């Protein structure tokens, strides 16, 4: 077993329409260690979200290798990717992606339903994580009844409830004011200190300062890496 949770080798992603072929990722080589906090930055359209989707097993690369938890998964079928994602990857999105028809509690327990966790254990875990995120008093509310900061806390609770080794965050503070944004970044830092690997796409230099390392993408390629602080496994 290596101590890297993610490795890519010559990773490429092409999008082809009738008229045009677009290269979203061009020969990306990177390694992310277990327990690291990495920020990915770059201008709009540089391939950040494409890379995050491949890392999150939502999409396959056109060519190259993608190793996740010591498995080479670049050619996995959708069903194989879905099975591997369960309980292994938590997602946090800019737009929260909560289900409007479900209460806070029901949104948070959803990943455990997919994992077929028994009801009593689901309730205990959901209550514990809602307490951790300081949102327990909203457990029976629906997403539209919450502020943006509260919705993002619910989204983080849902992402971490199954205790996945990897959290992927796509502009997690993008829809929040600075106070709520700071709160979210502190929550992510705490999760990372507890051992969760975090990969975050961000436009915010302020948010990127929370990471151990910043990877800059441009035109689908890694152009620079800044190590903010030494990361020790």
Distance, in Å, from the CA atom of 18 to the CA atom of 227, rounded to the nearest integer, reads 41
- 25, with CB counted inside 10 A (0-12, 13-18, 19+), is buried
Q: Which pLDDT band holds residue 2 (cuts at 50, 70, 90)?
A: low
Residue indicated by tokens 């966790």 = 117
Q: Which pLDDT band holds residue 217 (cuts at 50, 70, 90)?
A: very high
Output the CA angle 169-175-181, nearest 5 degrees: 70
pLDDT at 165 over 90: yes
- What does pLDDT average to over the chain? 90
The answer to whether the beta carbons of residues 58 and 125 sit under 8 Å apart is no
For 63, residues 6+ apart whose C-beta sits below 8 A from its C-beta are 10, 11, 12, 74
**Residue 231 tokens, joined:** 């990361």
**Residue 76 tokens, joined:** 């996995």
Going from the N-terminus, what domains does the chain have, and what CATH number goes with each? 1-85+197-233 (3.40.50.300)
Count of alpha carbons within 13 angstroms of residue 30, beta-carbon side: 31
Q: What is the pLDDT of residues 12-71, one digit of tens each?
A: 999 988 888 889 999 999 999 999 999 999 988 889 989 999 999 999 999 999 999 999
Residue indicated by tokens 């619910």 = 154
Q: Which pLDDT band holds residue 11 (cuts at 50, 70, 90)?
A: very high
Amino acid 180: pLDDT: 83
Q: What is the pLDDT of residues 92-126, one digit of tens each?
A: 887 778 999 999 999 999 989 888 899 999 999 99
Beta bridge partners of 8: 30, 66
Q: What is the pLDDT of residues 128-143, one digit of tens each?
A: 989 888 889 999 999 9
What separation, in Å, do the N-terminal and C-terminal C-alpha atoms of the chain show?
A: 14
- The dihedral over CA atoms of 63, 65, 69, 70, expressed in degrees to the nearest 10, equals 140
Residue indicated by tokens 């992310």 = 32
Amino acid 34: pLDDT: 95
- What are the Cα distances from residue 53, in Å, to 8, 50, 79, 85, 189? 13, 5, 15, 12, 22
**The model scores a pTM over 0.75:** yes
The alpha carbon of 173 is separated from its chain's Cα centroid by a whole number of angstroms, namely: 13
Nearest to residue 215, comparing CAs of 230, 199, 231?
A: 199
**Residue 134 tokens, joined:** 């300081």
């Amino acid at each position: 077993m290596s101590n890297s949770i993610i490795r890519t080798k010559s990773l490429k992603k092409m999008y082809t329409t009738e008229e045009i072929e677009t290269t979203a990722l061009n020969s990306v080589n990177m390694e992310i260690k277990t327990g690291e906090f990495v920020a990915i930055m770059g201008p709009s359209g540089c391939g950040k979200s494409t890379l995050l989707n491949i890392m999150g097993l939502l999409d396959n690369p056109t060519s190259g290798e993608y190793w996740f938890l010591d498995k080479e998964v670049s050619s996995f079928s959708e069903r194989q990717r879905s099975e591997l994602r369960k309980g292994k990857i938590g997602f946090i999105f800019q737009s929260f992606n909560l289900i409007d028809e479900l209460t806070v509690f029901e949104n948070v327990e959803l990943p455990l339903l997919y994992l077929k966790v028994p009801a009593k254990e689901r309730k205990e875990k959901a209550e514990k994580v809602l307490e951790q995120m300081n949102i327990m008093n909203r457990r029976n509310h629906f997403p539209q009844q919450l502020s943006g900061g509260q919705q993002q806390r619910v989204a983080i609770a849902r992402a971490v409830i199954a205790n996945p080794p990897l959290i992927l965050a796509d502009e997690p503070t993008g829809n929040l004011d600075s106070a709520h944004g700071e709160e979210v970044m502190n929550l992510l830092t705490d999760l990372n200190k507890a051992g969760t690997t975090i990969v975050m796409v961000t436009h915010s230099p302020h948010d990127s300062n929370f990471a151990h390392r910043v990877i800059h993408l441009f035109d689908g390629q890694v152009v620079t890496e800044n190590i903010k602080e030494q990361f020790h496994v």
